[in-house]
Amino acid sequence: MATIISRKKWGAAPPQGRPVKTKWTAGGTVWVHHTEGTELPATTAIQNEYQVMRSIQRFHQKTRGWSDIGYSYVIFPSGRIYEGRGKEVVGAHCPGHNAEPGVAFAGSFDDHVPTNKAWSALGQLSSQLGMRKYKGHRDGFSTSCPGNALYNKLRSQPPVTPKKKPKLSVYQRLRRAGFGVNSAKQILRKMGRIK
């Protein structure tokens, strides 16, 4: 399961206005972006990423005049995932598709692709959100975003979205741990799960 760094943790300013809720369609599309600007090294301190998140939010609110950061989530080269507007909140990332999740990679990706950690994080996040498809920003709007290298990788090698593992019963976990049928049943009886 992907760990998402909350708005509170990175020090987000409050939205300027009430967030508009939406419902994402299971199996739907994640709209992929890049933030442009300076890309931090994968080994950077987490506090530097916090500063970049606050800078992106300030730019979107003060310069663009949006109510909040435009993206649902932002992924850094470290592989850390940050909550932008968050789950099932209408964004400002791609006109006509703002009611769908928008995920941005922090940095510019015209000449190179995101790190393996960041790419894997996109797959994990998409799986956690129940999304299965990917489109680049330019698929929905006339722009160069998410950069040529990133866009080409997205089309040729989309991230692997791990399937959620089915929840196992106590009996199944005991059997997988090597207990025989009778031993597993005996343990369940002692636990009061069966008679």
Q: Which residue has the tokens 């089915």?
A: 166
Q: What is the pLDDT of residue 161?
A: 67
Say if strands 102-105 and 81-83 run parallel, antiparallel, or are unpaired: unpaired
Q: What is the pLDDT of residues 130-163, one digit of tens each?
A: 999 999 999 999 999 999 999 999 999 888 766 6
List of residues 6+ apart from 84 with CB closer than 8 A: 7, 68, 69, 70, 71, 72, 73, 74, 91, 102, 104
Q: Which domains does the chain possess?
A: 4-164 (3.40.80.10), 166-195 (no CATH)
CA distance 129 to 83: 13
pLDDT (average), residues 21-25: 95
Q: What is the pLDDT of residues 63-73, one digit of tens each?
A: 999 999 999 99
CA distance 104 to 31: 8
Say if strands 73-75 and 81-83 run parallel, antiparallel, or are unpaired: antiparallel
Asked whether 100 and 28 are in contact (CB, 8 A), the reply is: yes
Q: Could you check whether the bond before residue 146 is cis, i.e. omega within 30 degrees of 0?
A: yes
pTM score, whole prediction: 0.82
